[in-house]
Chains A and B, each alone.
Chain A
Amino acid sequence: MSAAHTDSHGDAHHDDAPHFSIRDYATGFFASVVLTAIPFWLVMTGALGDKTLTALVIAGFAVVQVIVHMIYFLHMNTKSQGGWNFLALMFTVILVGIVLSGSLWVMYHLNHNMMPMPHSMNELP
């Protein structure tokens, strides 16, 4: 990159390539191993007893692990590519939230309201 480069474009090249360090990858890896092993252990042994509680706990572990992957493996931060990376991510997170919660919510109520009647078709002669 030449020193004469003073425009606002241009610098987004070398400077934006993330720096890779063994420490980051090792941290991410060991955190992921722990965050993966605990949910498997919880489900396979049934250590928590209550199923709803176990489901909530493993969902929590999944969210933490996704964030760990984002930071240590995908080198996500609020500064890369002038913040556009992060903006796109936030937009996607919101869309994913709407898609998931909306689908589950609507379809749950649909199922609920279309419970089979006591005299369903199969019981007819």
Chain B
Amino acid sequence: MSTADLTAQYYDLNEHDHPEGGSTQLGFWIYLMSDCLIFAMLFAAFGVLGANYAAGPGPKDLFELPLVAVNTAMLLFSSITYGFAMIEMQRGRVGGVKFWLVVTALFGAAFLSIEMYEFSHLIADGATPQRSAFLSSFFTLVGTHGLHVTFGLVWLGVLLVQLSQHGLIEANRRRLLCLSMFWHFLDLVWVGVFTFVYLMGTLR
């Protein structure tokens, strides 16, 4: 049997044309699922270590639920405004997409600012990550989420530039779709954070 025959046996030589980006959505979804596993590990670490205060401050002394509620609202608003951007994209209006992306970015920035404010207050009060296992796992979990939001904001900014330069081309639509999944996924993770970290911590 010649090499050519063998090749033909094992490989699809007449592979059909794949549309560009046809599998991007699935690939990005699988990335999000792997990200989900990272957060699952961090949630598990917090679940195990969350009650080890090392005689330091606990959730009741540290968390301000009204502030967390405002933060949650910011992220939820940013989710719905991103949805409006997707609807404008569907209508083919690049101006509308850009407008709602900017609004989303503002809500995202507000979320991050509030989180930074909270963190700085905790650290000023001596509740640093080094203080106890509870605070280490708290800062790692909430910080990782905040880092994701930060990168989401960078992505939003880059997409705004790309939209300005190229308009709603097929590649930009695909990018908008991926960022949409990323952004809504972060909101979804935040549901776990405010429920299991802030609310249940305050209950303890």
Contact = CB atoms under 8 A, between A and B. Distances in A.
A80 B135 CA distance: 40
A20 B89 CA distance: 9
A47 to B, nearest CB: 12
Given A85-B29, A95-B37, A95-B40, A103 B19 contact: no
A100 B25 contact: no
Contacts of A7: 16
A118 to B, nearest CB: 19
Contacts, number: 138
A73 B79 contact: yes
Interface size, B (range)? 35 or more
Contacts of A13: 19, 21-22
Interface of B: 16-19, 21-23, 25-26, 29-30, 33, 36-37, 40-41, 43-45, 47-48, 65-66, 68-69, 72-73, 76, 79-80, 83-84, 86-87, 89-90, 173, 177, 181, 184-185, 187-188, 191-192, 194-196, 199-200, 202-204
Given A10-B18, A66-B188, A85-B26, A103 B65 contact: no
- Chain B at the A interface: SS class: helix
B65 A40 contact: yes
Nearest to A110: B48
Contact of A69 (B29, B30, B47, B184): B184
Nearest to A64: B191
A78 interface: no
Contacts of B33: 88-89, 91-92
A120 B158 CA distance: 58
A84 B83 contact: no
A43 B40 contact: no
Contact of B48 (A39, A54, A107): A107
Given A62-B192, A89-B33, A12 B76 contact: no
A39 B173 CA distance: 36
Interface residues of A, number: 52
Given A69-B184, A73-B187, A92-B36, A43 B202 contact: yes
A62 B197 CA distance: 12
Interface in A82-118: 84-85, 88-89, 91-92, 95-96, 99-100, 103-104, 107
Contacts of B19: 1, 10, 12-13
A1 B44 CA distance: 46
13 contacts: A13-B22, A17-B177, A20-B90, A25-B80, A25-B87, A61-B195, A66-B192, A84-B26, A88-B29, A92-B33, A96-B36, A104-B48, A107-B48
A44 interface: yes
A9 B18 contact: yes
Given A43-B199, A74-B185, A99 B16 contact: no
B170 to A, nearest CB: 9
A64 to B, nearest CB: 10
